Structure 1
Amino acid sequence: MAPLRILCISFSPIERDARVLRQLGVLAEFGDVTTVGYGSQPDDAAAHVEIPAGLASLPQTVGGVALLALRQWSRAELAAPAVQFALKALRGQQFDVIVANDARAIPAAHALAQGAPVWADLHEWAPEERTHVLSWRLLVAPLMRHICATYLTRSAAVSTVCDSIAGLYERDYHVRPDVVRNSTHWRDLAPSVADPTTIRMVHSGAAIHGRNLEAMIDATRELGEGYSLDLYLVAGGDGGAYLRKLQARAGGLASIRFNPPVTPAELPGVLNKFDIGVFWIPPTHTNARYTLPNKFFDYVQARLAIAVGPSIEMQQLVDSKDLGVVSSGFDVAECVASIRSLTAADIAATKSRVDAASRELSFEHDGEVMRSIVRRVAATDSAAQ
């Protein structure tokens, strides 16, 4: 296969977007990749269009909101300031394959395609991305549904993060996406030796509302002596206000530590010294109900026992491979009970089972799914020429 000219669009800070970074590593195997997104040029990109930080990726201008309110979806598709910036920056350039990350990038990908195949990688269930926000639910969700209905069947490939969400796209939009999990690269690590005095819990991710981070703090307080919790949290888009509330909630408790965030590549190695990776996210919306996030696979590569709530996709993996413990619910008492059910010997045995499953649950599998997608869409493009 001749080297491809590939365009990868992601309206995110790509250098902090673990899924897109892994995707870029695969795309770069096939040719030169031009990226479009916020922040500086990622390592695997041959060229980069940096979107100014102040430009929104949704039509949040006065005119854009008017289009949403008037249900002018087709006119609103490309109205976001970030989309307009990208279209102008790339005008006249030609590519062999275009990758759109998330639904908001799909119309721009098709507008730039000039007949080239588009691969739509949907990182979640797009129609309910932020349905906990009223304005998003009323104005943006209908636009996301329009984009999915209009463009998914026109795309040469569609992928998403888990089987449950793939089923939703098939049900509502008549495409069956390939499943590319949020797995991370295999790490040559061994389970750490337990501290005989303390069971060391850890959580990594973003400090944003709705993830039940308060329950982790309250559960650690309830567990008392012999347990600790380390948090590696990236401040959310609120300037760190929610993170500061969490720190205040911990109240200076010595068993809870807030650590500086680390890069996706460094995370498994940093987490390796702990015992249990925790994530108890209540099913307040569809994406939370079916979540199978980066952190789950980071915990696997760190060789940690895993403690989650009864979230469908995470529970299925934990139960099927005996990777940890699933709480009966998401209340603090239920989370505490699940942690207390694990003895030090249980944790050591579980970490060994996680170690045994680490290759199967690594990006070495999911990367092959990505490669098959690139080969397939590139062959589609060649056949069309």
Structure 2
Amino acid sequence: MSAKAKIILSVSNDLNSDQRLQKVCKSLIAEGYDLVLLGRFLKGKSMPIDRPYPTKRFKLWFNKGPLFYFNLNLKLFFHLLFAKYDLLIANDLDTLPANYLAAKIRGKAIVYDSHEYFTEVPELIDRPKVKAIWERIERKFLPKIKHAYTVSPSIAEVYHKKYGVKMGLVRNFPFKQDSIIESKKQNAVIYQGALNVGRGLEELIRAFNSSLLEGVELWIFGAGDIEKELVNLTRSLGLNEQITFFGRKEASELKKYTERAAIGVSLERPMGLSYQYAIPNKLFDYLQAGTAVLYSPLKKVELLLDGKEVGEKLRSHDAEDLAQQIRDMLDSDQLSNWQSNAKELSQQYSWENEAKVMIKIVESALND
């Protein structure tokens, strides 16, 4: 099938800050495809979006829990049952049921993009009944998928062993930066990403209660399940002047802050195989921005960064130890070298090469 085929992409978020999806869409547009992007609308939280392709965000009756996922898939299914398209791209397991069933009924092609090892995220570790439901959904639909890609070779290997599904590898690298503009670094630490359990955020906030980090700012970008708890913790410690929650921002605005931060943190705990198998996307953004990195000792991250002299590996999640390590990094004679090395290393990781794999999988699905 020639370019100009129509593709509908579905995701369970509100489209504002999903950088992977923005990159996928930009690359598909460049290949001449017509796109529509579907997501959800969060009252009081979703910001206006301006994209060079149509978007639709569903207003749902429920915003979390089983009823949210049922409501989302119901809306998606009936929309996709009657919409015009040649191919569907389902992003993660929580949109796959509606996409698969609609594609099956309509006789249309479908591609699956696995952003994470969904059934092994930390949020499901202590919820065996909920995890079992998602595992049943995974077993029901994934073996039927012929065209798929994911962010990690480990996730691809697991799905191949479990279900015989062959997944391409499309890592979540940033677009190549042709011109590098040097930004003046500030005495600030940045965290960007989901505000969920297992990210080391509570410990990070408590670390800033130490006198060691007096005068150092902490910028937190993103939203998530424990956002209210983190804001309340910051307030209870009297750190509102030092710690700023920016919420979700468009990639271009977020990038400006990342370039100005001295250190970027990625403090994930080894909770669930999803964290252990995938490399946090934020690391590549930190590197490209020339921001020194403080990173967790997760195997995949160690393979990426150990020996590269772009920062330090986390010694401990203890708040006082964390404060000391951040203080030591900010005072280190190596800080400027780490920042320069980060920018140099980032040149090895560009979305442009990953997009070629994604485009081939899309073309294969359309021509199948």
Q: Same fold (TM over 0.5)?
A: yes
Q: Could you say if the C-alpha distance between residues 194 and 94 of structure 1 is closer, same or farther in structure 2, counting changes exceeding 3 Å? A: closer
Q: How does 1:9-28 map to 2 (within 5 A)?
A: 9-28=10-29
Whether contact under 8 Å (2:212, 2:323) holds in the other structure is: no
2:285 corresponds to 1:298? yes
Per mean C-alpha deviation after superposition, the further-off stretch among 275-284 and 329-338 is 329-338
CA distance in 2, matches of 1:350, 1:92: 53
CA distance in 2, matches of 1:236, 1:194: 28
Instruction: Report how far residue 335 of structure 1 moved.
Output: 3.4
Whether contact under 8 Å (1:276, 1:304) holds in the other structure is: yes
Whether contact under 8 Å (1:310, 1:329) holds in the other structure is: no
Give the structure-2-normalised TM-score. 0.85
Whether contact under 8 Å (2:114, 2:149) holds in the other structure is: yes
Whether contact under 8 Å (1:57, 1:81) holds in the other structure is: no
* 1:228-285 deviation digits (Å, cap 9, x = unpaired): 23222334356x521322312542386x331423322221222211211012121122
* Residue in structure 1 matched with residue 57 of structure 2 by the alignment: 50
Give the structure-1-normalised TM-score. 0.81
2:362 corresponds to 1:361? no
Instruction: Report how far residue 138 of structure 1 moved.
Output: 0.4
CA distance in 2, matches of 1:171, 1:58: 30
Instruction: Report how far residue 207 of structure 1 moved.
Output: 3.1
Which of 15, 35, 38 is the aligned partner of 2:37?
A: 35
CA distance in 1, matches of 2:229, 2:197: 7
Q: How does 1:70-219 map to 2 (within 5 A)?
A: 80-113=70-103, 114-129=106-121, 130-132=123-125, 134=127, 137-139=128-130, 141-187=131-177, 188-192=179-183, 200-219=188-207
Q: How does 1:210-359 map to 2 (within 5 A)?
A: 210-222=198-210, 224=212, 228-237=216-225, 240-252=227-239, 256-261=242-247, 262-319=249-306, 321-332=308-319, 334-336=321-323, 338-339=325-326, 342=329, 344-359=332-347
Q: Which runs of 5+ in 1 are unaligned?
A: 62-78, 381-385
CA distance in 2, matches of 1:216, 1:191: 27
Whether contact under 8 Å (2:189, 2:261) holds in the other structure is: yes
Q: Could you say if the C-alpha distance between residues 194 and 226 of structure 1 is closer, same or farther in structure 2, counting changes exceeding 3 Å? A: farther
3-state secondary structure, aligned to 2:88 = strand
CA distance in 2, matches of 1:157, 1:375: 10
CA distance in 2, matches of 1:41, 1:251: 34
CA distance in 2, matches of 1:224, 1:146: 49
3-state secondary structure, aligned to 1:60 = helix
Which letter does structure 1 place at the counterpart of 2:112? A
CA distance in 2, matches of 1:337, 1:14: 37
Q: Report which structure shows greater RCO (CA 8 Å, sep ≥6).
A: 2
* Residue in structure 1 matched with residue 44 of structure 2 by the alignment: none
Q: Could you say if the C-alpha distance between residues 217 and 2 of structure 1 is closer, same or farther in structure 2, counting changes exceeding 3 Å? A: closer
3-state secondary structure, aligned to 2:339 = helix
Whether contact under 8 Å (1:232, 1:259) holds in the other structure is: yes
Whether contact under 8 Å (1:279, 1:308) holds in the other structure is: yes
Q: Could you say if the C-alpha distance between residues 194 and 89 of structure 1 is closer, same or farther in structure 2, counting changes exceeding 3 Å? A: closer
CA distance in 1, matches of 2:154, 2:217: 31
Which letter does structure 2 place at the counterpart of 1:60? L
CA distance in 2, matches of 1:176, 1:223: 52
* Residue in structure 2 matched with residue 73 of structure 1 by the alignment: none
Instruction: Report how far residue 348 of structure 1 moved.
Output: 0.8
Which letter does structure 2 place at the counterpart of 1:50? R
Q: How does 1:51-70 map to 2 (within 5 A)?
A: 51-55=58-62, 59-60=66-67
Which letter does structure 1 place at the counterpart of 2:61? G
Instruction: Report how far residue 350 of structure 1 moved.
Output: 1.3
CA distance in 2, matches of 1:138, 1:225: 42
Which letter does structure 2 place at the counterpart of 1:278? V
Q: Which runs of 5+ in 2 are unaligned?
A: 42-47
- Between the aligned residues of both structures, percent identity stands at 23
Instruction: Report how far residue 93 of structure 1 moved.
Output: 3.2
Instruction: Report how far residue 308 of structure 1 moved.
Output: 0.8
Instruction: Report how far residue 226 of structure 1 moved.
Output: 7.2
Q: Could you say if the C-alpha distance between residues 215 and 280 of structure 1 is closer, same or farther in structure 2, counting changes exceeding 3 Å? A: same
Per mean C-alpha deviation after superposition, the further-off stretch among 274-283 and 367-376 is 367-376
* 1:283-333 deviation digits (Å, cap 9, x = unpaired): 122223334223212212211111111022222211153322112343335
Per mean C-alpha deviation after superposition, the further-off stretch among 330-339 and 204-213 is 330-339
Instruction: Report how far residue 13 of structure 1 moved.
Output: 0.6
